[in-house]
Amino acid sequence: MTSPLPDPADKPLLRALSRQPTARPPFWFMRQAGRYLPEYRAIRAKVRDFVALCLTPELATEITLQPLRRFDMDAAILFADILLLPKALGQPLEFREGEGPVLAPIRDAAAVDRLDPGPMHERLAPVYETVRCVAAALGPDKTLIGFAGAPWTVATYMVEGHGGTDFATIKSWAWRDPGGFGRLIDRLVETTVAYLGAQIEAGAEAVQVFDTWAGALPADQFRRWCVAPLAEIVRRLRVRHPNVPVIGFPRGAAAMAPELVDATGIDAIGIDWSVDPRWAARRLQPRAAVQGNLDPRLLVVGGTPMREATEAILAALGHGPFVFNLGHGIVPETPPEHVQAVSEQVRSWRP
Ligand code: CP3
Protein backbone atom coordinates (compact mmCIF):
# COMPACT_ATOMS: atom_id res chain seq x y z
CA MET A 1 0.00 0.00 0.00
CA THR A 2 1.24 3.48 -0.76
CA SER A 3 0.88 6.19 1.83
CA PRO A 4 -1.34 9.13 0.88
CA LEU A 5 0.39 12.22 -0.48
CA PRO A 6 0.97 14.87 2.18
CA ASP A 7 -1.84 17.42 2.15
CA PRO A 8 -0.36 20.94 2.24
CA ALA A 9 -3.44 21.96 4.20
CA ASP A 10 -2.04 19.88 7.08
CA LYS A 11 1.28 21.70 7.33
CA PRO A 12 1.21 24.02 10.34
CA LEU A 13 3.48 26.65 8.78
CA LEU A 14 1.46 26.84 5.55
CA ARG A 15 -1.76 26.98 7.57
CA ALA A 16 -0.51 29.92 9.63
CA LEU A 17 0.79 31.74 6.54
CA SER A 18 -2.62 31.40 4.91
CA ARG A 19 -4.23 32.63 8.14
CA GLN A 20 -5.93 29.36 9.07
CA PRO A 21 -6.08 28.22 12.69
CA THR A 22 -3.34 25.96 14.08
CA ALA A 23 -3.27 23.95 17.34
CA ARG A 24 -0.20 26.00 18.36
CA PRO A 25 1.93 28.55 16.53
CA PRO A 26 4.41 26.94 14.13
CA PHE A 27 8.05 27.96 14.58
CA TRP A 28 11.45 28.16 12.90
CA PHE A 29 14.47 30.39 13.47
CA MET A 30 16.26 32.69 11.06
CA ARG A 31 19.83 31.35 10.57
CA GLN A 32 18.76 28.09 12.19
CA ALA A 33 21.53 26.34 10.27
CA GLY A 34 24.91 27.77 11.12
CA ARG A 35 27.90 28.22 13.35
CA TYR A 36 26.15 27.71 16.73
CA LEU A 37 25.77 24.01 15.78
CA PRO A 38 28.85 21.80 16.28
CA GLU A 39 27.74 19.56 13.40
CA TYR A 40 27.74 22.64 11.09
CA ARG A 41 31.19 23.67 12.33
CA ALA A 42 32.46 20.16 11.59
CA ILE A 43 31.45 20.47 7.93
CA ARG A 44 32.71 24.05 7.77
CA ALA A 45 36.13 22.96 9.09
CA LYS A 46 36.48 20.75 6.01
CA VAL A 47 35.05 23.20 3.45
CA ARG A 48 36.65 26.59 4.09
CA ASP A 49 35.04 28.29 1.10
CA PHE A 50 31.52 29.33 2.18
CA VAL A 51 30.28 29.90 -1.39
CA ALA A 52 31.51 26.45 -2.42
CA LEU A 53 29.64 25.01 0.55
CA CYS A 54 26.40 26.71 -0.55
CA LEU A 55 26.91 25.32 -4.07
CA THR A 56 27.49 21.70 -3.02
CA PRO A 57 23.98 20.18 -2.89
CA GLU A 58 24.92 17.16 -0.80
CA LEU A 59 26.44 19.31 1.96
CA ALA A 60 23.90 22.16 1.71
CA THR A 61 21.10 19.58 2.05
CA GLU A 62 22.73 18.04 5.11
CA ILE A 63 23.20 21.50 6.70
CA THR A 64 19.60 22.52 5.95
CA LEU A 65 18.36 19.41 7.77
CA GLN A 66 20.72 19.60 10.78
CA PRO A 67 18.61 21.95 12.94
CA LEU A 68 15.40 19.99 12.30
CA ARG A 69 16.98 16.80 13.59
CA ARG A 70 17.76 18.47 16.89
CA PHE A 71 14.81 20.80 17.37
CA ASP A 72 12.05 19.52 15.06
CA MET A 73 11.08 22.94 13.73
CA ASP A 74 8.01 23.24 11.50
CA ALA A 75 10.11 24.50 8.61
CA ALA A 76 13.47 24.07 6.96
CA ILE A 77 15.02 27.10 5.29
CA LEU A 78 17.22 26.42 2.32
CA PHE A 79 20.90 26.74 3.20
CA ALA A 80 22.26 29.33 0.79
CA ASP A 81 22.97 33.07 0.87
CA ILE A 82 21.34 36.21 -0.51
CA LEU A 83 24.61 37.14 -2.23
CA LEU A 84 24.65 34.07 -4.49
CA LEU A 85 22.36 36.03 -6.83
CA PRO A 86 24.77 38.93 -7.56
CA LYS A 87 27.51 36.32 -7.96
CA ALA A 88 25.34 34.46 -10.49
CA LEU A 89 24.95 37.75 -12.39
CA GLY A 90 28.73 37.92 -12.74
CA GLN A 91 29.77 40.10 -9.77
CA PRO A 92 32.83 38.60 -8.05
CA LEU A 93 32.06 37.59 -4.42
CA GLU A 94 34.26 36.28 -1.65
CA PHE A 95 33.58 35.54 2.02
CA ARG A 96 36.64 36.39 4.09
CA GLU A 97 37.05 34.90 7.52
CA GLY A 98 36.05 37.35 10.25
CA GLU A 99 35.20 39.97 7.63
CA GLY A 100 32.02 38.73 5.94
CA PRO A 101 31.23 39.18 2.25
CA VAL A 102 33.42 41.23 -0.09
CA LEU A 103 32.23 42.13 -3.61
CA ALA A 104 33.80 44.13 -6.46
CA PRO A 105 31.51 47.19 -6.11
CA ILE A 106 29.06 48.39 -8.77
CA ARG A 107 28.72 52.17 -8.81
CA ASP A 108 27.17 53.32 -12.09
CA ALA A 109 24.61 52.38 -14.72
CA ALA A 110 27.31 51.11 -17.10
CA ALA A 111 28.35 48.52 -14.50
CA VAL A 112 24.70 47.55 -14.06
CA ASP A 113 24.48 46.90 -17.79
CA ARG A 114 27.45 44.54 -17.55
CA LEU A 115 25.55 42.28 -15.15
CA ASP A 116 24.45 39.31 -17.22
CA PRO A 117 21.35 37.33 -16.18
CA GLY A 118 21.92 34.90 -19.08
CA PRO A 119 23.82 32.19 -17.20
CA MET A 120 22.16 32.76 -13.80
CA HIS A 121 20.06 29.58 -13.69
CA GLU A 122 22.99 27.46 -14.80
CA ARG A 123 25.15 28.98 -12.05
CA LEU A 124 22.40 28.59 -9.46
CA ALA A 125 21.52 25.03 -10.53
CA PRO A 126 23.21 23.55 -7.41
CA VAL A 127 20.87 25.64 -5.22
CA TYR A 128 17.82 24.28 -7.05
CA GLU A 129 19.23 20.78 -6.65
CA THR A 130 19.53 21.37 -2.88
CA VAL A 131 15.87 22.44 -2.82
CA ARG A 132 14.89 19.21 -4.58
CA CYS A 133 16.95 17.06 -2.19
CA VAL A 134 15.59 18.76 0.94
CA ALA A 135 12.01 18.59 -0.35
CA ALA A 136 12.42 14.84 -0.88
CA ALA A 137 13.82 14.33 2.63
CA LEU A 138 11.35 16.40 4.69
CA GLY A 139 8.57 14.89 6.78
CA PRO A 140 4.99 15.41 5.57
CA ASP A 141 4.20 18.08 8.17
CA LYS A 142 7.32 20.18 7.44
CA THR A 143 7.51 23.13 5.08
CA LEU A 144 10.49 24.08 2.93
CA ILE A 145 11.14 27.82 2.79
CA GLY A 146 13.09 29.30 -0.10
CA PHE A 147 14.45 32.84 0.07
CA ALA A 148 16.16 35.77 -1.57
CA GLY A 149 17.39 39.13 -0.43
CA ALA A 150 15.21 42.14 -1.18
CA PRO A 151 16.58 44.30 -4.02
CA TRP A 152 17.51 47.16 -1.66
CA THR A 153 19.44 44.92 0.75
CA VAL A 154 21.22 42.99 -2.01
CA ALA A 155 22.05 46.32 -3.68
CA THR A 156 23.67 47.63 -0.47
CA TYR A 157 26.29 44.85 -0.70
CA MET A 158 26.63 45.19 -4.49
CA VAL A 159 27.27 48.93 -4.27
CA GLU A 160 29.14 49.32 -0.99
CA GLY A 161 31.19 46.17 -1.70
CA HIS A 162 30.92 44.87 1.86
CA GLY A 163 28.72 45.02 4.97
CA GLY A 164 29.10 47.21 8.02
CA THR A 165 28.92 50.52 6.14
CA ASP A 166 26.74 53.57 6.77
CA PHE A 167 25.29 53.26 3.22
CA ALA A 168 27.02 56.49 2.16
CA THR A 169 27.74 55.37 -1.41
CA ILE A 170 24.43 53.70 -2.20
CA LYS A 171 22.36 56.52 -0.70
CA SER A 172 24.15 59.24 -2.61
CA TRP A 173 23.81 57.23 -5.85
CA ALA A 174 20.07 56.71 -5.23
CA TRP A 175 19.51 60.43 -4.58
CA ARG A 176 21.80 61.86 -7.25
CA ASP A 177 20.98 59.43 -10.07
CA PRO A 178 17.68 57.66 -9.33
CA GLY A 179 17.35 56.61 -12.98
CA GLY A 180 20.71 54.80 -13.03
CA PHE A 181 20.25 53.32 -9.57
CA GLY A 182 16.71 52.30 -10.55
CA ARG A 183 18.21 50.19 -13.34
CA LEU A 184 20.05 48.15 -10.71
CA ILE A 185 16.89 47.73 -8.63
CA ASP A 186 14.87 46.77 -11.73
CA ARG A 187 17.47 44.18 -12.70
CA LEU A 188 17.30 42.76 -9.17
CA VAL A 189 13.49 42.65 -9.27
CA GLU A 190 13.58 40.65 -12.51
CA THR A 191 16.27 38.22 -11.42
CA THR A 192 14.81 37.78 -7.93
CA VAL A 193 11.47 36.77 -9.48
CA ALA A 194 13.33 34.27 -11.70
CA TYR A 195 15.40 32.97 -8.77
CA LEU A 196 12.43 32.52 -6.41
CA GLY A 197 10.32 31.06 -9.21
CA ALA A 198 13.00 28.43 -9.86
CA GLN A 199 13.21 27.60 -6.14
CA ILE A 200 9.43 27.13 -6.06
CA GLU A 201 9.52 24.91 -9.13
CA ALA A 202 12.22 22.82 -7.42
CA GLY A 203 10.03 22.36 -4.30
CA ALA A 204 10.08 25.47 -2.09
CA GLU A 205 6.59 25.87 -0.60
CA ALA A 206 6.90 29.40 0.80
CA VAL A 207 9.47 32.14 0.23
CA GLN A 208 10.94 34.82 2.44
CA VAL A 209 12.36 38.08 1.13
CA PHE A 210 15.00 39.42 3.54
CA ASP A 211 15.21 43.22 3.63
CA THR A 212 17.80 43.40 6.39
CA TRP A 213 18.70 47.06 5.70
CA ALA A 214 15.18 48.41 5.11
CA GLY A 215 15.55 50.56 8.24
CA ALA A 216 18.31 52.65 6.65
CA LEU A 217 15.95 54.66 4.43
CA PRO A 218 13.72 57.71 4.97
CA ALA A 219 10.01 57.09 4.29
CA ASP A 220 9.86 58.33 0.69
CA GLN A 221 13.00 56.37 -0.27
CA PHE A 222 11.66 53.31 1.54
CA ARG A 223 8.52 53.50 -0.61
CA ARG A 224 10.57 53.77 -3.76
CA TRP A 225 13.34 51.23 -3.14
CA CYS A 226 11.70 48.74 -0.75
CA VAL A 227 7.89 48.84 -1.10
CA ALA A 228 7.56 49.23 -4.89
CA PRO A 229 10.13 46.50 -5.76
CA LEU A 230 8.58 44.05 -3.29
CA ALA A 231 5.10 44.78 -4.66
CA GLU A 232 6.39 44.00 -8.14
CA ILE A 233 8.11 40.78 -7.02
CA VAL A 234 4.91 39.57 -5.32
CA ARG A 235 2.76 40.52 -8.31
CA ARG A 236 4.99 38.67 -10.77
CA LEU A 237 5.47 35.59 -8.58
CA ARG A 238 1.70 35.26 -8.13
CA VAL A 239 1.14 35.08 -11.89
CA ARG A 240 2.82 31.66 -11.97
CA HIS A 241 2.58 30.62 -8.34
CA PRO A 242 -0.62 32.09 -6.89
CA ASN A 243 -0.67 29.78 -3.88
CA VAL A 244 2.89 30.11 -2.61
CA PRO A 245 2.95 32.43 0.41
CA VAL A 246 5.46 35.27 0.54
CA ILE A 247 6.95 36.45 3.84
CA GLY A 248 8.44 39.95 3.89
CA PHE A 249 11.05 40.92 6.48
CA PRO A 250 11.67 44.68 6.44
CA ARG A 251 14.08 44.83 9.36
CA GLY A 252 14.11 48.12 11.25
CA ALA A 253 11.10 49.57 9.40
CA ALA A 254 8.16 48.62 11.62
CA ALA A 255 6.57 52.07 11.47
CA MET A 256 6.18 51.55 7.70
CA ALA A 257 5.06 47.92 8.01
CA PRO A 258 1.27 48.41 7.82
CA GLU A 259 1.70 50.42 4.63
CA LEU A 260 4.16 47.85 3.24
CA VAL A 261 1.72 44.98 3.82
CA ASP A 262 -1.17 46.87 2.21
CA ALA A 263 0.87 47.97 -0.81
CA THR A 264 2.56 44.62 -1.52
CA GLY A 265 -0.04 42.01 -0.53
CA ILE A 266 2.56 39.84 1.22
CA ASP A 267 1.01 36.97 3.18
CA ALA A 268 3.15 37.40 6.27
CA ILE A 269 5.41 40.01 7.77
CA GLY A 270 8.51 39.32 9.84
CA ILE A 271 9.13 41.78 12.67
CA ASP A 272 12.42 42.52 14.37
CA TRP A 273 12.87 42.60 18.14
CA SER A 274 12.29 46.34 18.46
CA VAL A 275 8.58 45.88 17.70
CA ASP A 276 6.15 45.56 20.62
CA PRO A 277 4.30 42.30 19.91
CA ARG A 278 1.09 43.89 21.23
CA TRP A 279 1.41 46.66 18.65
CA ALA A 280 1.99 44.03 15.96
CA ALA A 281 -1.15 42.17 17.09
CA ARG A 282 -3.24 45.33 16.71
CA ARG A 283 -1.71 46.89 13.63
CA LEU A 284 -0.33 43.99 11.59
CA GLN A 285 -2.23 40.79 12.39
CA PRO A 286 -5.50 42.09 10.89
CA ARG A 287 -3.56 42.57 7.63
CA ALA A 288 -1.25 39.53 7.45
CA ALA A 289 0.26 36.69 9.44
CA VAL A 290 3.03 37.96 11.73
CA GLN A 291 6.40 36.25 12.24
CA GLY A 292 8.87 37.03 15.02
CA ASN A 293 10.35 38.41 17.18
CA LEU A 294 12.48 37.11 20.07
CA ASP A 295 15.76 39.00 20.42
CA PRO A 296 18.44 36.47 19.34
CA ARG A 297 20.58 37.77 22.23
CA LEU A 298 18.05 36.18 24.60
CA LEU A 299 18.95 32.81 23.07
CA VAL A 300 22.46 33.46 24.36
CA VAL A 301 21.30 34.69 27.80
CA GLY A 302 18.81 31.83 28.35
CA GLY A 303 16.99 31.17 31.63
CA THR A 304 14.16 33.30 32.99
CA PRO A 305 14.60 36.34 30.69
CA MET A 306 14.42 34.10 27.61
CA ARG A 307 11.42 32.16 28.95
CA GLU A 308 9.48 35.27 29.94
CA ALA A 309 10.11 37.08 26.66
CA THR A 310 9.02 33.99 24.72
CA GLU A 311 5.84 33.78 26.81
CA ALA A 312 5.06 37.48 26.27
CA ILE A 313 5.40 37.11 22.49
CA LEU A 314 3.19 34.00 22.45
CA ALA A 315 0.58 35.68 24.67
CA ALA A 316 0.42 38.78 22.45
CA LEU A 317 0.51 37.13 19.02
CA GLY A 318 -0.31 33.43 19.50
CA HIS A 319 -4.07 33.90 19.13
CA GLY A 320 -3.93 35.24 15.59
CA PRO A 321 -2.09 34.06 12.48
CA PHE A 322 1.42 33.77 13.86
CA VAL A 323 4.78 32.08 13.23
CA PHE A 324 7.17 32.11 16.16
CA ASN A 325 10.67 33.17 15.15
CA LEU A 326 13.48 35.50 16.16
CA GLY A 327 13.78 39.22 15.47
CA HIS A 328 16.89 38.45 13.38
CA GLY A 329 19.31 35.55 12.89
CA ILE A 330 20.73 33.21 15.56
CA VAL A 331 24.20 34.37 16.62
CA PRO A 332 27.16 31.94 16.62
CA GLU A 333 27.69 31.97 20.41
CA THR A 334 24.15 30.63 21.07
CA PRO A 335 24.09 27.47 23.21
CA PRO A 336 22.01 24.85 21.35
CA GLU A 337 20.31 23.93 24.68
CA HIS A 338 18.69 27.34 24.71
CA VAL A 339 17.28 26.78 21.22
CA GLN A 340 15.97 23.45 22.52
CA ALA A 341 14.30 25.12 25.51
CA VAL A 342 12.49 27.75 23.42
CA SER A 343 11.45 25.08 20.89
CA GLU A 344 9.84 23.02 23.67
CA GLN A 345 8.18 26.08 25.15
CA VAL A 346 6.56 27.01 21.82
CA ARG A 347 5.60 23.40 21.07
CA SER A 348 3.75 23.01 24.36
CA TRP A 349 2.04 26.45 24.32
CA ARG A 350 -1.69 26.53 23.57
CA PRO A 351 -3.74 29.57 22.66
O1 CP3 B 1 19.59 29.06 8.30
C2 CP3 B 1 19.27 30.00 7.54
O3 CP3 B 1 18.67 31.01 7.93
C4 CP3 B 1 19.51 29.82 6.05
C5 CP3 B 1 20.71 30.30 5.50
C6 CP3 B 1 21.02 31.79 5.35
C7 CP3 B 1 22.36 32.27 5.37
N8 CP3 B 1 22.35 33.58 5.03
C9 CP3 B 1 23.55 31.45 5.66
C10 CP3 B 1 24.80 32.09 6.11
C11 CP3 B 1 20.21 32.89 5.07
C12 CP3 B 1 18.69 32.96 4.98
C13 CP3 B 1 21.06 34.00 4.86
C14 CP3 B 1 20.58 35.35 4.49
C15 CP3 B 1 21.51 36.48 4.47
N16 CP3 B 1 22.81 36.49 4.08
C17 CP3 B 1 21.14 37.81 4.78
C18 CP3 B 1 19.76 38.27 5.16
C19 CP3 B 1 19.39 37.95 6.56
C20 CP3 B 1 20.31 38.45 7.60
O21 CP3 B 1 20.93 37.61 8.28
O22 CP3 B 1 20.40 39.67 7.76
C23 CP3 B 1 22.29 38.60 4.64
C24 CP3 B 1 22.38 40.10 4.89
C25 CP3 B 1 23.34 37.76 4.18
C26 CP3 B 1 24.72 38.16 3.80
C27 CP3 B 1 25.72 37.52 4.66
N28 CP3 B 1 26.00 36.17 4.66
C29 CP3 B 1 26.58 38.15 5.59
C30 CP3 B 1 26.59 39.63 5.91
C31 CP3 B 1 27.37 37.14 6.14
C32 CP3 B 1 28.53 37.33 7.08
C33 CP3 B 1 28.08 37.58 8.46
C34 CP3 B 1 28.08 36.30 9.23
O35 CP3 B 1 27.09 36.02 9.90
O36 CP3 B 1 29.12 35.61 9.16
C37 CP3 B 1 26.96 35.91 5.59
C38 CP3 B 1 27.53 34.58 5.88
C39 CP3 B 1 26.58 33.47 6.21
N40 CP3 B 1 25.37 33.22 5.58
C41 CP3 B 1 26.79 32.45 7.18
C42 CP3 B 1 25.68 31.58 7.12
C43 CP3 B 1 25.45 30.32 7.90
C44 CP3 B 1 28.03 32.31 8.03
C45 CP3 B 1 29.10 31.75 7.16
C46 CP3 B 1 30.10 30.89 7.89
O47 CP3 B 1 29.82 29.71 8.15
O48 CP3 B 1 31.20 31.40 8.13
Per the annotation, the verdict on 132 as an active-site residue is no
Going residue by residue through the chain, which has 351 residues, state the pLDDT in tens, using 9 for 90 and above.
Answer: 455 555 667 899 999 999 999 999 999 999 999 999 999 999 999 999 999 999 999 999 999 999 999 999 999 999 999 999 999 999 999 998 888 999 999 999 999 999 999 999 999 999 999 999 999 999 999 999 999 999 999 999 999 999 999 999 999 999 999 999 999 999 999 999 999 999 999 999 999 999 999 999 999 999 999 999 999 999 999 999 999 999 999 999 999 999 999 999 999 999 999 999 999 999 999 999 999 999 999 999 999 999 999 999 999 999 999 999 999 999 999 999 999 999 999 999 999
**For residue 239, which phi and psi values (nearest 5 degrees)?**
-60, -45
How far apart are alpha carbons 9 and 288 in whole angstroms? 18
Angstrom distance (rounded) from CA 298 to CA 305: 7
Encoded amino acid at 74, one letter: D
- Helical spans, DSSP H, in 206-297: 219-222, 228-240, 257-264, 277-283
**Ligand 1: residue whose CA is nearest its atom 34:** 100
Q: 135 with 129: CB under 8 angstroms?
A: no
- Find out whether the beta carbon of 31 lies less than 6 Å from any atom of ligand 1: yes
Atom 24 of ligand 1 has which residue's CA nearest to it?
Answer: 212
Cα angle value 25/136/8 (rounded, 5°) = 40
Active site residue 347: no
Is 12's C-beta closer than 6 angstroms to any atom of ligand 1? no
Please confirm, yes or no, whether 128 is among the known catalytic residues: no
Q: Whose CA is nearest to atom 43 of ligand 1?
A: 34
Whether 35 sits among the annotated catalytic residues: the reply is yes
Ligand 1 atom 21 nearest Cα: 329
The Å distance, Cα 30 to ligand 1 centre, comes to 9
**Eight-class DSSP state of 334:** -
- Active-site annotation holder among 24, 36, 74, 81: 81
Q: Is 44 a catalytic residue?
A: yes
Q: Quick check: helix, strand or coil at residue 258? A: helix
